[in-house]
Structure 1
Amino acid sequence: MNEPKTCVIVYTDGGASPNPGLGGWGAVLVSPGHGGLERELYGAEPDTTNNRMELTAAIQALRALKYPCRVELHTDSTYLRNAFEKGWLERWRRNGWRTSGKQTVLNRDLWEELWELSRTHSICWHWVKGHAGDERNNRCDALVQRAKEEFLSGMSPAAPA
């Protein structure tokens, strides 16, 4: 893949309460090449887990990109970041979606979609400590809460197509 010219900074977050339970995800996309233009995305699901929502946030953010980009993706999920940075995802795929302990990989459907999306973009994965004052991580967390509140009030935020 040729190195994409456009850079997008992405922050994502997801959560479920209880876990499993009502979940929400949020993403903030920043386009430095367009004057720092920001776009917010969020959604909710009624019966899910924290990890599924973390993966969904990244998927929805990457889906929103209309062409291949250089992506600086920030997440407070070590599960998400380490799957790429430590090569877990590649090993799971090679091992027939089995972990090193021979267990079935959870959330395979989302991992497969995220793998495909990650082939389109040049992604640098960054971990940020959650609830530690990072402005955009906090904004994503607020979007997660908003998604769940809207879902409960019947507004039902849907994932973008």
Structure 2
Amino acid sequence: MYEVHIYVETDNISPRPTNKQYGYVLECRTAAGDLRTREGFGRFCGTYNRVILRGIIEAMNRLNQPCEVHVHTANDFVVGMIERNLEHWAAEGFLTAKGTPVANREEWEQLWKMAQTHLLFADAGRHAYYDWLLSEMERRKLCS
């Protein structure tokens, strides 16, 4: 099973639904031991958490076989939910204790479905691609 690292960030951490850019770097080693990276960028109107989730899902959609996936992002909330709540939410039908749908239910359901094929882990904090992703999103914003 390949070990894959997904590094994802947005250009705006506002909790309000606004137009945001996101970017990710998908990194893995080939069977020969060579490091390979792929990148992706997009725009989406949503909260910080939702846009991060969209970036993770888009990156994971590029995987063509089961992998051990390590998600890296500065978004502590998303990391915490992946590590501690995703399985519980799935068991509860993605409903809160009050019986209402969890925020960003569609994205969490997609991520859960993907987690049935891949081993999914998450790490919070700045990462090796953090500054590059932010500068690349800024550059792309200026070019559009």
1:128 to 112, 117, 125: 125
Amino acid at match of 1:115: W
* Cross-structure match for 1:119: 116
Larger relative contact order (C-alpha < 8 A, sep ≥ 6)?
A: 1
Query: 1:28 touches 1:38 (CA, 8 Å); kept in 2?
Result: yes
> CA 1:14–1:96 in structure 2 vs 1: closer, same or farther (change >3 Å)?
same
SS where residue 120 of structure 1 aligns? coil
CA distance in 1, matches of 2:87, 2:23: 26
| 1:35 has 2:34 as partner | yes
Residue 61 of structure 2 corresponds to 63
Match of 1:142 in 2: 135
Once residues 100 and 146 of structure 1 are traced to their aligned partners in structure 2, the CA distance between those partners, rounded to angstroms, is 43
What is the Cα-based RMSD across aligned positions, in Å?
A: 2.3
Deviation of residue 65 (structure 1)? 0.9
Contact preservation (8 Å) 2:71, 2:121: yes
CA distance in 2, matches of 1:146, 1:99: 39
Unaligned runs of 5+ in 2: none
1:13-67 superposed Cα distances (whole Å, 9 cap, x missing partner): 135476321111111011222511211111002x321111110111011111111
Do 2:79 and 2:124's aligned partners in 1 also have CA atoms closer than 8 Å?
yes
1:76 to 71, 74, 91: 74
Name 2:92's counterpart in structure 1: 95
The one-letter code of the counterpart of 2:128 is E
Give the equivalent residue in structure 1 for 2:3. Answer: 7
- Give secondary structure in 2 for the equivalent of 1:43: strand
CA distance in 1, matches of 2:121, 2:50: 21
**TM-score computed with the length of structure 1 as normaliser:** 0.75
Instruction: Measure how far apart 1:100 and its partner are.
Output: 3.3
Aligned-pair identity in percent equals 27
Give how far 1:135 is off: 2.9
Name the CA shift for 1:143/1:120 in 2 (closer, same or farther; >3 Å): farther
CA contact under 8 A between 1:15 and 1:53: conserved in structure 2? no
CA distance in 2, matches of 1:24, 1:121: 26
In 2, distance between residues paired with 1:104 and 1:15? 27
